[in-house]
């Protein structure tokens, strides 16, 4: 294994890990924005808002992730090129394959994040909403300083699971030609005839990543409980 890593495959895996982390972090971040935004939308006094959010979470939690990835990958660039041609006279600019990859994963994870935030929000006593206003806070400040921290402390263990899923989802990037961890392992296995070594390296990377992530989120969970206990 060390011989293959020293022969240049180590750098290939390091580069692939960087790409996978970029996709995972981006997808996780956007899924959090989707979750918070749709939770607020579902609680807004807008007719049909709850039904719209329920439909979104139902559909995208039901679809296989790979279907959405392929759909966006094969249609987004065409739409982008058509719009570019209409507004800029046909400038030759191509979308990175990471864009549809991050977009599809964010949409799917956003459905799960929405359910997490809605469940966490439902456990917040109604009096907490009025408490912020009684302190003279605006609705936005009350949301950021009073409500969301309490929601976060309730769902932090589940956010850790969602973060691990976002990293595992990067294994799909190889399908659209992105040099992620799985693609590098596959290329290495075919070119060297050592599949056990290269897929073993990929497995080790994901396991180590999961172990480190679990420790980080466990620390965040303890810190959140300590902070909540001191309030």
| Number of CB atoms found within 10 A of residue 178's CB | 19
* Total-model pTM: 0.84
Provide the token pair at 152: 């976060």
**pLDDT tens digit sequence for 153-183:** 888 888 888 999 999 888 888 888 888 899 9
What are the residues whose beta carbons fall under 8 Å from the beta carbon of 216, sequence distance 6 or more?
A: 160
What is each CA distance from 230 to 139, 208, 218, in whole angstroms? 24, 33, 18
CA angle at 80 for the pair 74 and 93, rounded to the nearest 5°: 105
pLDDT digits (tens, 9 = 90+) for 95-150: 788 888 999 999 999 999 999 988 888 777 666 666 666 666 666 677 777 777 77
From CA 114, how far away is CA 121, in angstroms rounded?
A: 10
Write down all domains in the chain, each with its CATH number in brackets: 2-230 (1.10.3720.10)
Contacts of 73 (CB under 8 A, 6+ apart): 97, 100, 101, 104, 176
Per DSSP, 196 falls in state H
Rounded Cα distance, 74 and 67, in Å: 11
């Amino acid at each position: 294994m060390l011989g293959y890593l020293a022969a240049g495959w180590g750098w290939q895996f390091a580069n692939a890990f960087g790409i996978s982390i970029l996709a995972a972090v981006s997808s996780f971040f956007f899924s959090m924005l989707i979750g918070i935004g749709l939770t607020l939308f579902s609680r807004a006094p807008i007719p049909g808002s709850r039904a719209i959010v329920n439909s979104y979470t139902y559909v995208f939690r039901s679809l296989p992730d790979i279907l959405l990835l392929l759909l966006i990958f094969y249609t987004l660039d065409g739409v982008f090129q058509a719009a570019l041609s209409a507004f800029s006279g046909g400038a030759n600019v191509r979308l990175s394959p990471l864009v549809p990859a991050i977009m599809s994963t964010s949409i799917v994870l956003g459905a799960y994040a929405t359910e997490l935030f809605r469940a966490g929000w439902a456990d917040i006593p109604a009096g907490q909403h009025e408490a912020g206003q009684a302190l003279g806070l605006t609705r936005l400040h009350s949301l950021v300083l009073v409500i969301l921290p309490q929601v976060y402390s309730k769902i932090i263990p589940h956010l850790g699971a969602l973060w691990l899923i976002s990293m595992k989802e990067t294994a799909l990037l190889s399908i659209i030609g992105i040099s992620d961890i799985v693609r590098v392992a596959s290329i290495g296995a075919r070119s060297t005839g050592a599949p056990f070594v290269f897929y073993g390296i990929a497995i080790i990377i994901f396991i180590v990543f999961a172990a480190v992530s679990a420790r980080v989120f466990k620390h965040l969970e303890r810190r959140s409980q300590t902070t909540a206990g001191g309030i």
